Amino acid sequence: MDIPSCGNAGLTALREMAREMESNLHDNILAYWLDRMTDPRGGFYGRRDGHDRLDTEAPRGCILNARLLWTLSAAARRYPEMTRYADAARRQARWLIDRLIDRRHGGCYWSVTPEGERLDGKKQFYAIAFAIYGLTEYYRLSGDEEALREAVTLFEVIETRSRDRVRGGYLEAANEDWSPIGDMRLSDKDLNSSKTMNTHLHILEAYTNLLRVYPTPECREATASLISLFLDRIIDAESGHMGLFFDDDMHRVDHGISYGHDIEASWLLLEAAQVVGDEALTARTLEATRRMAAAALEGLTPDGSMVYERHEDGRLDEERHWWVQAECVVGLLWLARYHGDTEAPLKALRTWGYIRDNIVDRDNGEWLWSRLPDGTPNRRDDKAGFWKCPYHNGRMVLESVPILDRLCGSPA
């Protein structure tokens, strides 16, 4: 791709960005988890607080552990010379399969103790989707048939227990025994809605990875159906933003905007359509995701950072969350690669500069949760924990470097 706005200096800066990103992945992100978060009892510790203090007895969440499995497996595939990534992925796959899958009722526990005993058995389909995502990536690394079997079984669980074939979409949660649950919220920040954009997005992400290794008609249909649901019901045709919360009939019940989710979905949806392989669906998705990315970039600021969201009442939440910045980089580079946006690479360079200078913890490793609106580091939220792991930032590097190599004329 020609990037006339870059010039030689710009191309040099983008190549340096790729080098810095890879160094950050190896020396800052994954080194932190392997050296400081590995629990000698097995698996990974469940938490370090915002001051980087270790909590050895924190619960182990399904989301954290499934995302860790994905990241370690994807990094091991990309960097086979880094043998400790593959070793850690192997141990993590075993830990997840043995301790987080509910052998009595099916699906995955929400959380377990550090020893792997059930704590909260509720079935949050968002978490089950991440288990599919991690297990399929591990299968891509290892060829381990057990991991694939477990992923396929979890796919069947979601299709049977969550998919609403009458009203459309996927239900949010259930009790441990699959009976209806009163509080469906993924977190206390969410509305108690039966169906949400966020869960649909990450079921789609999981199904996309499963389809790569399990290309059955059932998996293809489910993935394509989810893409169509986004195009027809979740994305607002006028604004390009996604709705966040929906009722049983997939009618929107909120008025908020999540800039981070918009930019993340703008590339995950296009990736899913490419894997499905339907030309007409891909063409529809290409146009919709271009508009989505443009809408998301309403939250991009002159210093390269992206604000978090716009609340129901119209107020802007200007906190700079780690994951939003990471997804912004990927979304911008997909804009360059697949939509021909020649300005997007330099915007991504600015966002990476903001991350490098404000979000990366150069003293202790990993990234901060966020910078508060006044620019100070957020210490109230975890450095590592139930929701904070090397998934968004690790994936940013793994997605971005091959695109940067291609854009800059270097081998991928």
Domain contains 398: yes
Distance CA 239, CA 231 (A): 13
Mean pLDDT of 137-146: 98
Q: Which residue carries 């990103």 as its tokens? A: 21
Residue 362 host element (H or E): none
Domain with 160 in it: 7-45+57-407
Q: Which residue carries 């039966």 as its tokens? A: 194
Residue 9 — very low, low, confident or very high, per pLDDT cuts 50/70/90?
confident
Domain contains 242: yes
Domain contains 412: no
Find out whether 11 and 408 touch, Cβ atoms under 8 Å: yes
Q: Which residue carries 């959380």 as its tokens? A: 111
Domain contains 2: no
pLDDT digits (tens, 9 = 90+) for 212-256: 999 999 999 999 999 999 999 999 999 999 999 999 999 999 999
Closest CA to 39 of 109, 112, 147: 112
Domain contains 51: no
Question: In the structure encoding, which two tokens stand for residue 56, read together?
Answer: 């050895």
Residue 349 — very low, low, confident or very high, per pLDDT cuts 50/70/90?
very high
Instruction: Kindly tell me if the per-residue pLDDT of 276 is higher than 60.
Output: yes
Residue 1 — very low, low, confident or very high, per pLDDT cuts 50/70/90?
very low
CATH code (residue 252)? 1.50.10.10
Find out whether 25 and 78 touch, Cβ atoms under 8 Å: no
Question: In the structure encoding, which two tokens stand for residue 280, read together?
Answer: 């007409």
Mean pLDDT of 102-128: 98
pLDDT digits (tens, 9 = 90+) for 374-387: 999 999 999 999 99
Domain contains 284: yes
Amino acid 329 reads V
Q: Which residues contact 165 (CB under 8 A, 6 or more apart)?
A: none
Strand order, beta sheet including 309-310: 257-258, 309-310, 316-317
Q: Which residues contact 407 (CB under 8 A, 6 or more apart)?
A: 1, 3, 14, 333, 336, 337, 345
Domain contains 74: yes
- The pLDDT score that the predictor gives to residue 234 is 98
Angle, CA 401 vertex, CA 32 and CA 23 arms, to 5° = 35
Distance CA 399, CA 210 (A): 18
Find out whether 209 and 133 touch, Cβ atoms under 8 Å: yes
Find out whether 155 and 213 touch, Cβ atoms under 8 Å: no
Q: Which residues contact 360 (CB under 8 A, 6 or more apart)?
A: 24, 28, 367, 368
Find out whether 116 and 98 touch, Cβ atoms under 8 Å: yes
- The pLDDT score that the predictor gives to residue 253 is 97
Tally of helices (H runs) and strands (E runs) in the chain = 13, 12
Domain contains 358: yes
Q: Is 78 exposed, middle or buried (0-12, 13-18, 19+ CB in 10 A)?
A: middle
Question: In the structure encoding, which two tokens stand for residue 296, read together?
Answer: 């998301």
Indicate the number of domains in the chain: 1
- Cα–Cα distances (Å) from 34 to 82, 141, 243, in that order, read 12, 18, 37
Find out whether 308 and 298 touch, Cβ atoms under 8 Å: no
Alpha helices in 37-163 (DSSP H): 62-78, 83-99, 125-142, 145-161
Q: Supply the pTM of this predicted model.
A: 0.97
Q: Which of 2-6, 18-22, 43-47, 236-240 is least confident?
A: 2-6
